Chain A
């Protein structure tokens, strides 16, 4: 630790960032992909049809299926395909439970053309990638939550100390000076941090809020006592439904749902119906809640409530419940970005990528700063330094390559292979491991170059793999106007091209700059 406030902050920033940098990189990259989780889901299930059925037909089909599958249920839930988060008609039901346990639940994705459930290949899809950013993988979730929480806390500290130690935050606001070695890395790291600073702060802080109840259990214990029962009581009160009518026991058919949906549409506008929730269908006490699209970060939307048997509107439930709840929900809503339309979603994605790159450049900057000094040591660079160099290479490129492998596995593993969704993930982590090993065995700059080419090929060839294994190739998608599939292919090509450019750029640099002595491999050096 050095003397002086700024120096101390610098020390915390450097070492705190380094220790958790690779996990944060993983969290940021998988989380950023989470902004397109549904789109990735769709791409990974090419069997699912493109949904075009109008709302009222979809509702009728869903109701028929629910009557058949779950008569006498406690609750039905219908999500028509009216927003990006829900590209296919989805139904969910919950049967009446006992005092001790919740009732049985079920859910299906329906083809609105036939009314039958659609089956797609088993895949983790975008949801598994998205889940990894807070639950990691291969670890018990509680451990993972804590691990990610500690890393997020370090991230928050790194952001704040980063602002403190950035002396020219305004003067260098727009500054990037390329081809100047360490200066350029620092500029790049600063630029990536400062441009998306509101995002970085928001995403890290709200990420911690997500698991506040896990990280700070004593706050609940303070008012509710210790133990599982106390916790459940707290959550029951926090998320309590305002209205909890008992089943009357008199059967009465559910009134026309699409008339209610039509009324909701006339209230909010076309395509604004997000979901229908039917409480106690078939009973005289039935209530229908219709929710509107999420149009703000509040993470809740206004609901219209109807009498389920007469279809008459009985009131409106505002999205806003209470101020403390609204503060929490707004932070979570900002984090998830479910309210974001496509333009804003891309901005979220961009900010996430900037954050990911910020972390990677930070870790690389650590080695760049120390490189000259380390290589002047009579016995060569220290083991710690070489470890960081190799980890940077292996993680920075290994994770994108692993994710590409996840997509490749989705297309190449046999569709009837029973554990295919698990193997998709295994392929991803095996590739990450392989990249780490490869990076450790090759001369450093050559390792970077070769792995950049590997990443370029992994993404560049993905549209080709897609074309060979499904009927939905790029040309077909463009002609059909299916911009989700076309977009995925195009993004892969762009990402592949970026990696290829980086590889070419790095090769030029390797030849123009004087050779670093870092040409021997990690293993050879330590031997």
Chain B
């Protein structure tokens, strides 16, 4: 469950950072290139699919799908709070190597 949660959270983070608005909340002044948006979204999909697979593998398809919905709910709620109150915490979680993928603002 913990691994599935971390993956779901990573997926939701990737989806949110694929939006310029949230990217700037974490790294003010930066914006996306055309490629980086795609990369972020693909990472998100990949993480989410892996998390779903893990849940379905461990708990059976029926329970696994319920779990992934619940985990996504938790992740999005946490992310929205982080973006509003502690956006820099997300910068510390530099697991997407975000700095290397994103062009600095011109």
Q: A: which residues have CB within 8 A of B?
A: 171, 173-178, 191, 194-196, 198-199, 295-298, 330, 334, 339-341, 343-344, 347-348, 350-351, 354
Contacts and interface: CB of A to CB of B under 8 A. Distances in A.
Interface string B73-100: 1101101110111000000000000000
Contacts of A296: 60, 62-63
Q: Which 5 A-B pairs have the closest CB atoms?
A: A347-B70, A296-B62, A195-B76, A174-B16, A343-B1
Contacts of A178: 84-85
B71 interface: yes
A354 B69 CA distance: 14
A351 B60 contact: no
Given A174-B22, A174-B76, A334 B66 contact: yes
B: interface residue count bin: 20 to 34
A174 B79 contact: yes
A348 B63 CA distance: 12
Contacts of A295: 59-60, 63
Given A173-B16, A174-B22, A297-B66, 6 more contacts: A176-B83, A178-B84, A199-B70, A297-B63, A344-B67, A344-B70
* B interface: dominant SS: helix
B77 A191 contact: yes
B76 A347 contact: no
Given A191-B77, A295-B60, A354-B77, A177 B67 contact: no
B83 A174 contact: yes
Interface of B: 1, 12, 15-16, 19, 21-22, 59-60, 62-63, 66-67, 69-74, 76-77, 79-81, 83-85
A176 B76 CA distance: 11
Nearest to B12: A174
Contacts of A347: 67, 70-71, 73-74
A334 B62 CA distance: 10
B63 A198 contact: no
Contacts of A330: 62
Contacts of B62: 296-298, 330
A348 to B, nearest CB: 7
Contacts of A176: 80-81, 83-84
Contacts of A175: 21, 80, 83
Nearest to A348: B70
Nearest to A179: B84
Given A178-B85, A296-B63, A351 B80 contact: no
Nearest to B22: A174
Contacts of A196: 73
23 contacts: A171-B19, A173-B16, A174-B79, A174-B83, A176-B81, A176-B83, A176-B84, A177-B84, A178-B85, A191-B77, A195-B76, A198-B69, A295-B60, A297-B62, A298-B62, A341-B59, A343-B1, A344-B59, A344-B63, A344-B70, A347-B74, A354-B73, A354-B77
